[in-house]
């Protein structure tokens, strides 16, 4: 009996050891990194925290072991500028292979689906940024070319399509992987310092709800969920306020800087009929409408007509470039932060959107385009 009891105890101990489900291991080989330290950092919402460090063996091998309760973003770092991001889940046995010379740009990872998703997202965005940079370089190089205007038009279209492809890729990733923590990365990726790839609130709602149901204790999920609730509240508030209804009984003032940084109030234009136009340099519909506005402005400017165009862009270069390319000679303003207050006050949910204001600054029409705009201006000003 004693032998049987000892045997059962040994089996029970082995089972408990094997069920230590929170343990993960990260091992691998990095060539040309021997006898240097490699660090493991936890990527938090606004900071990083070093978890562990080991000396890379002479054959380039290394190994880490740790515990996580839910998928966690970890940085495998050789130095501050040479690291990769992993999304580590409990019990994963991850293997990483690479070379110290280009570790951050080229590596292989196995044993972790989340880490593969992270790699795919980063590589896709890197390719997109490289394409966008190449287009910008072409525009600079050929600025003095006799056919520059036509070439730029083509490059602008390609530039738009490359950006849009990235947006669609990221949105599709979020939709197809709603319960993956990799969505946190997808939702916070940016084209530049000011412009997020994903800007639609539906993708945020989908990911925040799904991840909050699975990983409510994650710091990243808490932040994402809180930000989403805030945006939803702002959206509801804008609809509830309805400062501008369909009949246009009032028109809140707008004071925004023009391209020279001079603040211009729309109220300063009283005495003229003013078309208040909300647009974006990156929006194809807005750009298509601009030539129509140019013709209307030429036709009616001398008769007391003005255009006050509000940009919802966040990229100043794209905004100024569109003004120059489309030959927009009227008042163009924007704070390069989305002109949030103006957009909210006028309940703008899409661009292009416009309102026609009479000489007292009251809204008398909304979303006039093409023949309808010309017809109304003709009736008012002829």
> 118-128, pLDDT tens digit by residue?
999 999 999 99
Task: Answer yes or no: is pLDDT of 7 > 60.
Answer: no
Q: How far is 221 from 227, CA to CA, in rounded Å?
A: 10
| 175 contacts 206 by C-beta, under 8 angstroms | yes
Least confident of 72-76, 138-142, 292-296, 304-308: 138-142
φ/ψ of residue 370, rounded to 5: 55, -130
Task: Answer yes or no: is pLDDT of 12 > 70.
Answer: no
Residues in the chain: 382
**Higher pLDDT among residues 26 and 10, named by residue:** 26
Determine the topology of domain 255-381 in CATH. Answer: Glutaredoxin (3.40.30)
Output the pLDDT for position 22: 67
Task: Specify the CATH number of the domain 21-109.
Answer: 2.60.40.1120
Task: Answer yes or no: is pLDDT of 249 > 50.
Answer: no
Output the pLDDT for position 345: 86
Output the pLDDT for position 370: 84
Output the pLDDT for position 16: 41
Output the pLDDT for position 236: 60
Q: How far is 97 from 109, CA to CA, in rounded Å?
A: 7
Task: Work out the percent of the chain whose per-residue pLDDT is above 70.
Answer: 90
Task: Answer yes or no: is pLDDT of 43 > 50.
Answer: yes
β-sheet bridge partners, residue 190: 196
Global pTM value: 0.59
Q: How much is the average pLDDT of 175-203?
A: 93
Total Cβ atoms within 10 A of residue 134: 14
**Residue ranges of the alpha helices (H) in the chain?**
2-18, 113-141, 148-176, 182-188, 201-214, 219-241, 284-300, 316-326, 340-345, 371-381
Q: How far is 278 from 266, CA to CA, in rounded Å?
A: 13
Task: Answer yes or no: is pLDDT of 255 > 90.
Answer: yes
Total Cβ atoms within 10 A of residue 335: 17
Q: How much is the average pLDDT of 161-167?
A: 96
Output the pLDDT for position 338: 94
Q: How much is the average pLDDT of 278-307?
A: 96
| 244 contacts 362 by C-beta, under 8 angstroms | no
Output the pLDDT for position 231: 85
Residue 238 pLDDT grade (very low, low, confident, very high; cuts 50, 70, 90): low
For residue 218 the two structure tokens come to 């994650």
Task: Return the residue matching tokens 């599709």.
Answer: 172
Output the pLDDT for position 230: 85
| 342 contacts 362 by C-beta, under 8 angstroms | no
Residues 6+ apart with CB under 8 A from 53: 37, 38, 39, 40
Output the pLDDT for position 346: 87
Q: Tell me which residue of 125, 136, 137, 194 sits closest to 163, measured CA to CA.
A: 125
Q: How far is 338 from 329, CA to CA, in rounded Å?
A: 21
Task: Answer yes or no: is pLDDT of 353 > 70.
Answer: yes
Output the pLDDT for position 170: 97
Domain definitions of the chain by residue range: 21-109, 116-241, 255-381
Task: Answer yes or no: is pLDDT of 309 > 60.
Answer: yes
DSSP 190: B
What value does the mean pLDDT of the chain take?
89
């Amino acid at each position: 009996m004693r032998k049987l009891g000892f045997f059962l105890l040994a089996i029970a101990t082995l089972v408990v050891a094997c069920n230590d489900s929170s343990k993960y291991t990260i091992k691998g080989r990095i060539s040309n990194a021997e006898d240097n330290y490699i660090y493991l950092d936890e990527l938090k919402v606004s900071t990083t925290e070093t978890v562990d460090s080991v000396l890379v063996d002479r054959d380039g091998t290394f190994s880490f072991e740790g515990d996580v309760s839910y998928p966690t973003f970890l940085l495998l770092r050789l130095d501050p500028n040479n690291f990769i991001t992993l999304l580590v889940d409990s019990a994963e046995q991850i293997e990483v292979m690479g070379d110290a010379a280009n570790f951050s740009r080229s590596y292989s990872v196995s044993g972790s689906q989340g880490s593969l998703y992270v790699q795919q997202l980063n590589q896709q965005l890197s390719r997109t940024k490289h394409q966008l940079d190449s287009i910008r370089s072409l525009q600079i190089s050929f600025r003095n070319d006799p056919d520059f205007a036509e070439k730029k038009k083509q490059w602008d279209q390609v530039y738009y399509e490359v950006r849009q492809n990235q947006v669609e890729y990221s949105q599709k990733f979020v939709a197809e992987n709603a319960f993956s923590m990799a969505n946190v990365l997808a939702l916070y990726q940016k084209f530049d310092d000011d412009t997020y790839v994903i800007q639609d609130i539906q993708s945020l709602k989908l990911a925040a709800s799904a991840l909050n149901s699975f990983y409510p204790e994650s710091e990243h999920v808490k932040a994402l969920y809180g930000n989403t609730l805030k945006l939803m509240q702002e959206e509801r508030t804008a609809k509830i306020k309805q400062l501008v209804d369909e009949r246009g009984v009032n028109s809140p003032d707008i004071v925004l800087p023009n391209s020279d940084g001079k603040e211009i109030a729309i109220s300063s234009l009283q005495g003229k009929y003013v078309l208040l136009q909300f647009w974006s340099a990156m929006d194809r519909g807005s750009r298509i409408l601009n030539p129509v506005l140019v013709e209307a402005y030429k036709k009616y400017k001398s008769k007391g007509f003005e255009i006050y165009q509000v940009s919802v862009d966040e990229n100043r270069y794209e905004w100024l470039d569109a003004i120059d390319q489309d030959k927009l000679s009227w008042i163009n303003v924007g704070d390069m932060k989305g002109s949030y207050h103006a957009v909210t006050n006028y309940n703008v949910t899409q661009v292009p959107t416009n309102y026609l204001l009479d000489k007292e600054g009251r809204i008398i029409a909304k979303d006039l385009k093409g023949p309808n705009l010309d017809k109304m201006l003709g009736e008012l000003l002829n």
